[in-house]
Structures are given as structure tokens and as C-alpha cells.
């Protein structure tokens, strides 16, 4: 399905360095936007009617079997993975667009270090940011400085890093090695015995 992509522009001052925004070029940002808008058209949301599209820009250095997406535009389709929200008649079972996209990426073999940026869009004039559950889900695989671009329905966007959206977060790097934990617990048990 092809959608009419709006032209994308920032809604507030952005941190630009060497013509890049958090390391993302204008071309990459265009594709990130186009692809989340396109994914939104494929969302399954008959209950809320609130369509959400998400796109994940893969780091160019990451090479895995390309995953075909429905619309290849100006950027190799293999560098983008998308998702839309998938709802369910049993309401809490529904899944957000961001988790559908990240789950797809993980099943395709991508892991931490694979992702350069995230795009999210909806049908509202406001900037919809990933829900709390999605923030934690994304945190598992994104570096804390990964930019998350939030596009409104007109294509205006704001950007925040993963770390800004989820400060003082709990992630895989926080967990000590299991052996260390086991040893500490055994020592603890020995003390009370």
C-alpha cells in the first residue's frame, strides 16, 4: 500500500551536528517518516481506531538477510523494519506498534547495536510518544542515545533519546552475571544457616 507522505519538518529547535540529528541524516529521517506513515495504514485497530505506525532504522553496518517491506522508497528497504498496532477483541491483548516492530526485528536476528533511530506516528496533531511498556521494551535493544522521532499527523516531529524517554532505566546491562548473583545468594544463605 502506498501512502501520500507529508513533508517532514521539526516542531522545535533540534540538536544538529555536522548536518545530522542525533547521527541521522535528512535522507534517513525522510525514510523513517515515510515508513512509519506507511505502517500506520496497515495497523489493525478496529476498537480504538487509533492508528499507530512505527519504523526502526537499522545501522548501515548491520548486515543480515534483508527483510522485505511493502514500500521501498529512497532508502534500501532492507534498512527499515516497521510495525503497526495490532488490537484484539480481548482489549488488553492488543500490542502497540513499537513492540510489533521491535519484535519483528528481533525475530529477524537484530539485537542491541542494530538500531540507529525509531520513528512513531499516529493520526493526531499532538506528538504521541511510546507508552511506558513500549519504552521498556525498546530499552532492551536500543542504546540510551538512540533518537526516537515522534511525528504528528502532518509530519511535524519532535525527537527525544531513549534515555530521555526512560530516565534511570532498568536494562540488561544492570543485571549482574548470574554466577555472581548465585554466589552472593549462597553466601547469604550460609550466614543464616
**DSSP letters along 122-172, please?**
-SSSS-PPPPHHHHHHHHTTS-TT-EEEEE-TTSEEEEEEHHHHSTT---G
Please tell me the count of residues contacting ligand THU according to CB under 6 A: 13
- Asked whether position 85 contacts ligand THU by CB under 6 A, the answer is yes
96 binds ligand THU (CB under 6 A): yes
Residue closer to ligand THU by CB (options 36, 75) is 36
Check residue 87 for interaction with ligand THU (CB under 6 A): yes
Known binder of ligand: residue 128? no
Does the protein bind ligand THU through residue 50 (CB under 6 A)? yes
- Active-site option among 98, 140, 164, 180: 98
Among 32, 52, 101, 165, binds ligand THU (CB under 6 A): 52
Question: Is 57 one of the binding residues for ligand THU (CB under 6 A)?
Answer: no
> Residue 175 Cβ, how far from ligand THU at the closest point, in Å?
25
Closest residue by Cα to residue 44 from 116, 97, 118: 97
Is 98 among the residues known to form the active site? yes
| Sole residue written with cell 511510546 | 130
Asked if 131 touches ligand THU (CB under 6 A), the answer is yes
Considering only residues 80, 134, 159, 165, which one is a binding residue for ligand THU as defined by CB under 6 A?
134
Binding residues: 85-91, 96, 131, 134
By CB under 6 A, name the binding residues for ligand THU: 45, 48, 50, 52, 85, 87, 94, 96-98, 130-131, 134
Instruction: Catalogue the active-site residues.
Output: 98
Amino acid at each position: 500500500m502506498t501512502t501520500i507522505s507529508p513533508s517532514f519538518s521539526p516542531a522545535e529547535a533540534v540538536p544538529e551536528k555536522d548536518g545530522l540529528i542525533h547521527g541521522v541524516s535528512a535522507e534517513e529521517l525522510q525514510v523513517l517518516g515515510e515508513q512509519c506513515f506507511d505502517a500506520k495504514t496497515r495497523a489493525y485497530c478496529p476498537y480504538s481506531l487509533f492508528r499507530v505506525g512505527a519504523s526502526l532504522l537499522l545501522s548501515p553496518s548491520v548486515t543480515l538477510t534483508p527483510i522485505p517491506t511493502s514500500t521501498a522508497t529512497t532508502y534500501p528497504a532492507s534498512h527499515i523494519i516497521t510495525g503497526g498496532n495490532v488490537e484484539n477483541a480481548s482489549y488488553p491483548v492488543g500490542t502497540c506498534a513499537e513492540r510489533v516492530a521491535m519484535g519483528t526485528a528481533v525475530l529477524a536476528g537484530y539485537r542491541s547495536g542494530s538500531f540507529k533511530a525509531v520513528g512513531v506516528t499516529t493520526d493526531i496533531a499532538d506528538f504521541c510518544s511510546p507508552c511506558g511498556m513500549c519504552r521498556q521494551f525498546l530499552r532492551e535493544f536500543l542504546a540510551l542515545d538512540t533518537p526516537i522521532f515522534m511525528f504528528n499527523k502532518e509530519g511535524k516531529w519532535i525527537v527525544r533519546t531513549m534515555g530521555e524517554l526512560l530516565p534511570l532505566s532498568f536494562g540488561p546491562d544492570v543485571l549482574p552475571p548470574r554466577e555472581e548473583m548465585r554466589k552472593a545468594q549462597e553466601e547469604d544463605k550460609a550466614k543464616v544457616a
